[in-house]
Amino acid sequence: MSQNSKLSNYKKQRYFNICVIGAGYVGLVAAACFAKLGNRVICVDNDKKKIEQLKKVKVPNFEPGLEKLVKEAVRKKKLSFIHSIAKGVKDSQIIFIAVGTPPKESGEADLTALEHVARKIAEHLDSYKLIVEKSTVPVQTGLRLKESIRRYAKRCREFDIASNPEFLREGRAIDDFLKPDRVVIGVESDKAEKILQALYKPLGAPVLVTDINTAELIKHASNSFLATKISFINAISLICERAKADVSKVAEGVGMDKRIGREFLKAGIGYGGSCFPKDVLAFIQIAKKVGVDFKLLEEAKNINLYQRRHFVEKIKEELWILKNKTIAVLGVSFKPDTDDIRQAPALDIIKMLKKENANVKVYDPEAASKAKKVLGGVSFCNNVYDALYKADCLALCTEWSQFSNLDFRKIKKLMRYPFVADGRNFFDREKLQRLGFRYLGIGR
């Protein structure tokens, strides 16, 4: 068969045999969604316990719709879970690498797991495979991946590398996967491009094709831009506080300009989660490595951390002495609709309050059991009203929608001092003030 007719075959192919290595958050969502599109997917993880659980369709993380999707795909025999990379590689045309790239102490991404997987894939390479990076990796990782697979491949050296970053938000990952703003594919051969174009065709989303380095960079640049946007409005919020202006209205006015947009302009105690803090740190290190001092990003990170301290300072300014005062923290997850507490601003805030010897009571509808494992000397409550009993301050850290229906008349009676520190500008300030609360938001 000529090269051209082989390529047009890929173009026509609708379904692929896919192996996703890494059944973490990104890998599992990708595996389930590829299976939903009709592909046959094998999901591999070296954590035997996790694979056993997944075989019983027990999904380890709280992500709306994921368990249902996994269940359906397993039932239709489109998705299976195994422990062996060898079988996964052998049975697939496309291999997605979605293993963790956690930060080292310096902020640089630790690529140990990725390199290990590359060697394993190389060992079992027996025919042409398209090997795709899905994990968030520093620019030029694709090059190293290629070198490494070449070096360790035994029987076959026919493969392509591609980069296909994910842009999934926790809590909306399935929608973000199936209805993306864009699909980015970084490739260095026509064959790799055709395969990935065909794979993503059913989504009908705009596809941006680039070289591998550029695709890798798009991921870090996107997350860093969004994080900087949040820090920008948080810096404005400090000016608003001193100049007696309202940051919510400033954000509204600024965001009405289509070139800027309204999203990610909510001032508050800053960003957390498993992506923004890690990716910002990693991007600072990546820039350093290529000889660029990315001061803007360094500052975005500093502003983000300052917002947490500033929130505690505001509470302290109001209550004067925090020792033996009771602060009810509402929400510990890094954002609503998730039980994820990784890099959650609330954790730092609670630690700072504890350092001042305040009594901290916490309520979170989903994240309490995770938070209990990392926070000592804090009492966890079963509901908002228990947390607020005899409290001197209600400190809102995560804007769970259920907090929009609180009975503030009842709360006023329960609290020792009716004071609301609103870390997400979530509550109706005028209403609270009318009811006799002392209200402090961010930048208003």
Binding region for ligand UDX (CB under 6 A): 166-170, 223, 226, 230, 264-266, 268, 270-273, 275-276, 334-335
- Looking up tokens 């797991």 gives 113
CB 114 within 8 A of CB 137: yes
Among 29, 270, 46, CA closest to 135: 29
Closer CB to ligand UDX, residue 96 or residue 334? 334
Within a 10 A sphere around the Cβ of 165, how many other Cβ atoms?
23
Nearer to ligand UDX, 39 or 237 (CB): 237
Q: How far apart are CA 376 and CA 347, in angstroms?
A: 11
From the CB of 162, what's the least distance to ligand UDX, in Å? 18
**Minimum distance of ligand UDX from residue 434's CB (angstroms):** 27
Residue 114 beta carbon to ligand UDX: minimum distance, rounded to whole angstroms: 18
Instruction: For the CB of residue 268, give the shortest distance to ligand UDX in the complex, in Å.
Output: 5
Pairing of strands 183-186, 207-210: parallel
Smallest distance, ligand UDX to C-beta of residue 374, A: 17
AA identity, residue 295: K
Q: Shortest Cβ distance from residue 211 to ligand UDX (Å)?
A: 21
Nearer to ligand UDX, 143 or 260 (CB): 260
Nearer to ligand UDX, 149 or 168 (CB): 168
Query: How far apart, in whole angstroms, are the C-alpha atoms of residue 395 and residue 41?
Result: 45
Instruction: Give per-residue burial for 231-243: e unless 16+ CB within 10 Å, then b.
Output: bbbbbbbbebbee
Query: Which candidate in 19, 275, 393, 397 is catalytic?
Result: 275
CA dist 339 and 43 (Å) reads 24
Nearer to ligand UDX, 217 or 322 (CB): 217
Chain centre to alpha carbon of residue 322: 33
Exposure of 397 in the CB half-sphere (CA atoms within 13 A): 33
Residue among 88 and 277 whose Cβ is closer to ligand UDX: 277
Containing 301, the helix (H) or strand (E) segment is: helix 295-319
Helix (H, G, I), strand (E, B) or coil at 19: strand
Distance (Å, rounded) from C-alpha 306 to C-alpha 295? 16
Kindly provide the b/e burial profile for residues 357-380, where b requires at least 16 CB atoms within 10 angstroms of the residue's own CB. ebbbbbbbbbbbebbeeebeebeb
- Amino acid letter, 349: I
- The reply to whether 275 belongs to the active site is yes
What is the set of active-site residues? 275
